[in-house]
Amino acid sequence: MDPVVAPARSWLFVPANRHERFAKAATSGADRVIIDLEDAVGPGDKVSARNSLAGAPIPSNIPVYVRVNSVTTPWFMDDVAAAATLAITGVLLPKADTAADVERVAARLPPTQHIVPIIETALGAWNVLEVARATRVERLVFGALDFQLDTGMLDDGDTFASVRSSITLASKIAGIAPPIDAVTLAIDDDTLLAHDSDRSRRFGFGGKLCIHPKQLPVTNAAFRPSDADVVWARGLLAERATRPGDAVFSYRGTMVDRPVIERAKRISAEAEK
């Protein structure tokens, strides 16, 4: 399964030391599973959690990633070495501040594994394009909580609009897959989750991190085209098929040109995933 083109709307975290949850996560409705060695595992348990992955039941029916600890921690090197031996899609790299951070990971992973850098510091945001262009980067993730901690900025409304925009633009320029947005901490607030997911989509993100299976239905729905959009797109494309010689035409009272046609094609394709 090519991770660049496979659905990537919802990325569900599971603690690396809770092996019994791996299979449940893989059948939960998430598009991706992240086995977490960073925030989900306390300092005293990190080594044992990492070592236990060698015999863990890694799901094979869904793209699986391991989130290692950052390059500034004492666990980083051994985390990456362990991840390199696993049958996984790739590695999430926290606090990816420079391309050199990504290259350190790439040098230790097999060529089949991808890297997903997390932009969650001021320095990472400043260097976002060089990070996006680094070796074997599949896509970027925005870590809003750590970014807030690093910068002192509060994520109320669209305070981080410029950061989200820069991550999306850097992803496009680098030719990688659309980025993934940060978690919503509220597990039972579907209204807030839908709002946050809609914001992510408006900023060009392709999916969102999830911390609980309860968040998956709302998240997945938010990154699918609406029924109305699908009807519009397919109707427009059907009309276009009757006008092979027309560069511009009218559909439902509005002008249609190449960018509008391409948008309709994209919506129609997304609806098939």
Torsion of CA 51, 73, 85, 89, to 10 degrees: 120
pLDDT tens digits for range 76-131: 999 999 999 999 999 999 999 999 999 999 999 999 999 999 999 999 999 999 99
pTM to 2 decimals? 0.88
Domain ranges (residues) in the chain: 10-222, 227-271
DSSP states of 9-43: SEEEEEETT-GGGHHHHHTTT-SEEEEESSTTS-G
SS3 79: helix
Instruction: Reply yes or no on domain 10-222 having CATH 3.20.20.60.
Output: yes
Q: pLDDT tens digit string along 181-215? A: 999 999 999 999 999 999 999 999 999 999 999 99
pLDDT digits (tens, 9 = 90+) for 229-267: 888 888 888 888 888 877 788 888 888 888 888 888 877
* Tens of pLDDT, residues 20-54: 999 999 999 999 999 999 999 999 999 999 999 99
Mean pLDDT, rounded, of the chain: 93
Residue count of the chain: 273
